[in-house]
Structure 1
Amino acid sequence: MTGSAPTPPNDLAVLLDIAARGIPFALLARDSATIELLTGDIVDVDLLADIPLEDERGRPQEVLALVPFRQVRERGFECHDDGAPLRCLIVRDRALFDRAAALEQLPSAAIPLADAGFDIADDDYAAIVRRVIADEIGHGEGANFVIRRDFTANVAADAATAALTWFRALLEHERGAYWTFAIVTPGHVAVGASPEAHVSARDGIVTMNPISGTFRHPAGGATTETLTEFLQSTKETEELFMVVDEELKMMSAVCSDGGRITGPHLKEMSRLTHTEYVLRGRSRLDPRAILRETMFAPTVTGSPMQNACTVISRHELTPRGYYSGVAALFTPRTDAVLAGESTHDLDAPILIRTAYLVDGRLRVPVGATLVRHSDPFGEVSETHGKAAGVLGAIGAIPRDHPVEPALPSGPIDGDAPAPQPRTLADDPDIAALLASRNARLAAFWLNPQDSIVAGPFQGRTAVVVDAEDRFTTMLSHQLRHLGLDVRIVPWNEVTDAQIDDAELIVSGPGPGDPRDPGTARMRRMREVVARRHASGRPLLAVCLSHQILADSLGIELAPLDAPHQGLQKTVDLFGMPASIGFYNTFTARVPAGVSAVGVAEVAADPTTGDVYAMRGPGFASVQGHLESILSRDGMTTLERLVTAAFSPVDA
């Protein structure tokens, strides 16, 4: 077996021989017609930067890497460290096989399971959901979190045989997967049908594909009516918007043009339908660096990312292994590489809907996205629905026969191509309902951003202080479009000299209770805001920093009755209505009708007194996230507030 076969062969004897001899291999089904077989050498490395994209002679080589969740440590994030290796298959040989032939020849006999069941009972998982909503979202720790549970069983069968059997079952019983795969390496098997591409990079174009919202098909199959009810759900809609915001943070960090969103679309699978957007931008970064900066998808962790990892460590008592990591295929580019561009393309699906087999122990992890509207037993049901495809394939639950999409009605021309099944997305009412979602979103992120024109603050500079919420990457991208030269500095690295000397300080958002200075981060953010405000030099304070500034002015801080995580509101900001996205659990609050506190002009809710923005000589602040896709008027409002911040103290 050398190189790629010119046409897909039908004889899988070579694959079965490889499996029988214990040679590491990977099977990838990335299209509807073929299966790729990759074989080679196994190398475990410590860091993403160590993935060997060149051989000993410096020549580009293809690598398939299994990236465990513990790699978040590279970014300083917290996790239960199980030592799962960053495992690399250095591809020496590859072949293509016909997918239909594979279904006929791969083993199909059921693999017996023993002692099968979820490690966390339904009632106990529902109790975890309640705690996360009350203790984490309810205390400002973030907008959403993904908490997993594991289906486990004992397996006595040969690992390679089990992998081939389950791979065949997923090919037969699951549709709509981004990758269906089996990766067999010494002591470890991973077999799955991932619906979601985390990140890809091809010819300098980076793509991310946030998928969220889970519609479990009812008995008899999905209908326009049942799907419409799902698409009109506030919880499901906000859940998708929140993960798009979180992935735009990542895109803004790795792409010079910040990223543009298209969609929404439906991701239709055999038993589930999801909603999704596609994000694209241009980057010259090494694909390993792109992967590092996007660890890991908010759809399987939560947001903001760093604190989500901390919350996961509090509520998941065992390590994740490879769950929510990625399988990353680095393929050498065959075209002439332009100066400064990467030698490799990247294709990296998220490791979800995957079964792992180690030392005869099967594990199928699955999680639900918990938001402020979550119903505990609804989230329990979601974990069952997400696991059903894999559990059916491995024989843990009965293998159902999902309803196939109907073919178009009417006469068929004998010379015309075979008709394709009609999908739910083909329904004009469904298409219109999906498209209507974008009317709520910021045009800034829907439109191309290939170049930055001269903005109103051209030639001026800003330092953005990051308080562990990478909304600062999106905010910085918008500030650059306003003409500012922007540098982001983490809260624990910003110096007093930078606070004093920067032309504009933008003190950013972050998780936590602004009233509690018990953490080093909260203490330093208080120092940043106080020092800059006292200097009288231009300051813009956002969300958490807005609350800290309000507190320093003697304005009350209080928890909201219900968290505003991913909430869109139209508010009056100094006489002008603005549609803005909010991600806050706490608020600054003045008595109803108050419009000024000392030198600060206050824009507040006329009934509750919740403070949405402030401005005064040399400063401005805002509670909402003007950079969010939910902020239709974000750019206009940002320009107004930066102008206010630049107003002289003696004006």
Structure 2
Amino acid sequence: MTGPSHPSLGEIADSGIPFALIARDGSTVEVLTGDVVDVELLADIPLTDVEGTPREVLALVPFRQVRERGFECHDDGAPLRCLIVGERFSIPRDQALAQLPTAPVPLDEPGFDIPDDEYADIVRRVIADEIGRGEGANFVIRRDFTAGVSTDAATAALTWFRALLEHERGAYWTFAVVTPGHVAVGASPEAHVSARGGASEGAGDRRPAEPGFSTVTMNPISGTFRHPEGGATAETLSEFLESTKETEELFMVVDEELKMMSAVCSDGGRITGPHLKEMSRLTHTEYVLRGRSRLDPREILRETMFAPTVTGSPMQNACTVITRHEKTPRGYYSGVAALFTPRHPESADAAGEPTHDLDAPILIRTAYLENGRLRVPVGATLVRHSDPYGEVGETHGKAAGVLGAIGAVPRDAAAERAAEAAAVASVVDTAAVDEDAPAPEPRRLADDPAIAALLASRNARLAEFWLNPQGSATPGPFAGRSALVVDAEDRFTTMLAHQLRHLGLDARIVPWSEVTDDQIDTAELLVCGPGPGDPRDPASPRMQRMREVVRRRRSSGRPLLAVCLSHQILAHSLGLGLAPLAAPHQGLQKTVDVFGMPASIGFYNTFTARVPAGHTQAGETEIAADPGTGDVYALRGPGYASVQGHLESILSRDGMTTLERLITHALTPVGA
């Protein structure tokens, strides 16, 4: 029974006050009520009152906030809505279920806003015109399932929340947020980012808490296995886990989120996993990334807008591609629900360090209700292997997952019976089960030895640098030296800069549009980074400037390292030809010869420098190229070195060794 000082959930809904219901631990429902304030910027989220006292805030962050990072979007004016928590209490899950309505919410004229054939055409265009022209590795394009709803908004929210609470499993957050004119109800599988005071929780990484530090966690999830009728089995899941497309899709989003981690965490972050995220109708694969940061949680949120699993990579260009191919604004889809909770006084730092913990799931698997219209946005991750109608099917599966979970469409009763049967089968001695004991949890597919082995085998492909703790008491080989990294609109540079620091260099990043001629001339080591697009494009201001940067630095004779796009630009300046690949190498792992040493490297390129097969020299420049195709993998000459692959990628098992070799060459005085 609800305590005497707490109103029932129905009374809260009837009162008209803004409220939120959140289920995070599986046994209780948190109830938050308060006032709503809309703000313009993440920095404006009011974490303290006028007297400076910390307070709890739940913020709904729309996709349009990417404008804060200078990225493109369709701006629909969706507010950055903050629920200033005035009261919070928790009730047991069973009590919450007893207080919530059960009558179905009827839908009028349900259907997708974009027909299947039209969506398939969009997929084809993105693969051909965007991925095929080097604009990025993967992109998420959404469409919306819509319907009319005549039920009162608060009642609909409570009804849908009840259905999720009763039937959905595996969600990170199950929630309902009801504010004036807007309702959001969902079961998000994915924690985009969290920041908490205290020790790191990674396996084998139990570091003690440090004053002023937060443990930052990100949870990249990718790959979607739609359960067949009757439920998932180890056999059907194994086929999904062995898919090259699904595996590479997950690796690419891990790379993209490590870019964000390296931007906000002093230790760059490390990865653990992979794991399965098992839900009622879908199963996903996931990794967990952890690092430490001193940043204000609002700044952490800003630097990690938004998850590549719902946008694409590289992030900045993904937003541009989304704007080109999605004709309507996203609203809150792919944004986050961010709960800022004051820390205990003893964990706050007197010098103004972070005073709040952050817990921010991605706003996916979410239904929105506004002005009597239900909207369920769903997207598919498009990669070079994508099948247009396979991606159409993925959007249907995701929409059905949400609609079935909220009770808007019939659930898969056979799948639910299969889950119940698995729960019974997981009990060793059913005759000895206490009838009064709670029902057993369904046996997880991840516990199957064959499934566990398939998951573990994925890490054999990955760089140990990102799998292991990175702290080191010994100085790197380039200790006392410095590097300036020019960012050409791909934040792989944050991972690259972290690796440079690990090697002992004092590394700093500057955007291509801000780097000055003086910086180009005076940097001890200039690192020209990767970026999207065609390096031959004569109209692109970014390409023009990167060509100037590479030309000016090479003519000075001072140490230069060029990566991916900048490697292509350097090759062209040396008289080598550039050409598009027959098939893009986006998220492709290859073992190549780099000046006499085999190296397993991750590639994210659509264009390549190319020489006649067998050529290994061009003037003073040594060339490492494919002996059959002539595709150039690396260059080195007087004071410069370059590489086509991304040595910073998780796919580059030999990345650190190769990076050290190339830097050593670039820093070696000419003639030495």
Scaled to the shorter chain, the TM-score interval is: over 0.9
SS in structure 2 at match of 1:91? strand
The counterpart of 2:376, out of the listed 357, 364, 381, is: 364
Query: 1:4: which partner in 2?
Result: none
User: Cα offset for 1:335?
Assistant: 4.7
Could you tell which deviates more after superposition, 482-491 or 332-341? 332-341
Is 1:297 the counterpart of 2:318? The answer is no
Q: In 1, Cα distance between the equivalents of 2:321 and 2:473?
A: 37
Decide which of 130, 140, 147 is 1:136's aligned counterpart: 130
Q: For 1:161-560, what aligned pairs fall within 5 Å after superposition?
A: 161-203=155-197, 204-336=214-346, 337-340=348-351, 341-401=353-413, 402-403=415-416, 404=419, 406-407=422-423, 408-411=426-429, 413=432, 419-451=440-472, 453-560=474-581
Over the aligned positions, Cα root-mean-square deviation in angstroms equals 1.5
Partner residue of 2:48 out of 40, 51, 54: 54
Aligned partner of residue 198 in structure 1, secondary structure: strand
CA distance in 1, matches of 2:190, 2:12: 29
Counterpart selection for 1:617 from 612, 619, 638: 638
User: Relative to structure 2, which stretch is displaced further, 282-291 or 514-523?
Assistant: 514-523
1:617-647 deviation digits (Å, cap 9, x = unpaired): 1000000000000000000000000011112
Query: How many residue pairs were aligned?
Result: 645
Please say if residues 8 and 34 of structure 1, whose CA atoms lie closer than 8 Å, have aligned partners that are also in contact: no
Pairwise CA distance, 1:16: 1.1
Question: Counterparts of 1:588 and 1:83 in 2: how far apart (Å)?
Answer: 44
Which amino acid in 1 is paired with 2:448? D
Gaps of 5+ in 1: 1-6
Q: Report if aligned partners of 2:163, 2:407 keep a CA contact under 8 Å in 1.
A: no
| Correspondence for 1:72 | 66
3-state DSSP of counterpart to 1:607: coil
Pairwise CA distance, 1:80: 0.2
Stretch of structure 1 that moved more, 140-149 or 408-417: 408-417
Render the CA deviation track for 1:548-578: whole Å, top value 9, x for unaligned.
0000111010000000000000000000000
The verdict on how the C-alpha distance between 1:534 and 1:8 changes in structure 2, with shifts beyond 3 A counting, is farther
The answer (yes or no) to whether the contact 2:23–2:174 under 8 Å persists in 1 is yes
Q: Distance in 2 between matches of 1:26 and 1:493?
A: 43
Aligned equivalent of 1:36 = 30
- Contact 2:36/2:84 (<8 A) preserved: yes
Once the 2 structures are TM-superposed, how far is the Cα of residue 17 of structure 1 from its aligned partner?
1.3
SS in 2 for 1:54: coil
Distance 1:118 1:535 in 2: 58
How many percent of aligned residue pairs carry the same amino acid? 80
Distance 1:213 1:165 in 2: 30
Residues 283-337 of structure 1 deviation map (CA, whole Å, 9 limit, x = unaligned): 0100000000000000000000000000000000000000000000000001512
* Paired position in structure 1 for 2:593: 572
State how far apart, in whole Å, the 1-side matches of 2:324 and 2:658 are: 38
* Residues in 1 aligned to 2:229 and 2:161: alpha-carbon distance in whole angstroms: 25
SS at match of 1:433: helix
The residue type paired with residue 466 of structure 2 is W
Q: Quote how far apart the aligned CAs of 1:410 are.
A: 3.0
Give the deviation of 1:15 after TM superposition.
Answer: 2.0
Equivalent position to 2:119, from 121, 125, 140:
125
2:647 aligned to 605, 626, 630, which one? Answer: 626
Which of these residues, 607, 610, 613, is aligned with residue 589 of structure 1?
610
Alignment partners' CA distance in 1, 2:305 and 2:474: 31
1:88-167 correspondence runs (5 A): 88-167=82-161
Counterpart of 1:227 in structure 2: which amino acid? Answer: L
Greater displacement, 103-112 / 410-419: 410-419
Change (3 A) 1:19 1:420: closer
Q: In 2, distance between residues paired with 1:421 and 1:174?
A: 13
CA contact (8 A) 1:12 1:102 kept: no
8 Å Cα contact 1:452/1:480 also seen in 2: no
On the 8 A contact 1:170/1:389 being kept in 2, the answer is no
Consecutive unaligned residues in structure 2, runs of 5 or more: 198-213
Partners in 1 of 2:5 and 2:409 — Cα distance?
Answer: 31
Runs of 4+ in 1 over 6 A off after TM superposition: 415-418
Instruction: Please tell me whether the aligned partners of residues 465 and 491 of structure 1 are also in contact (alpha carbons under 8 angstroms).
Output: yes
Q: CA deviation at 1:394?
A: 4.5
Separation of aligned partners in 2, 1:23 and 1:239: 42
Q: Distance in 1 between matches of 2:272 and 2:407?
A: 38
Letter in 2 for 1:295: M
Q: 1:174, CA displacement in angstroms?
A: 1.2
Mapped to 1, the partners of 2:412 and 2:304 lie a distance apart of 36
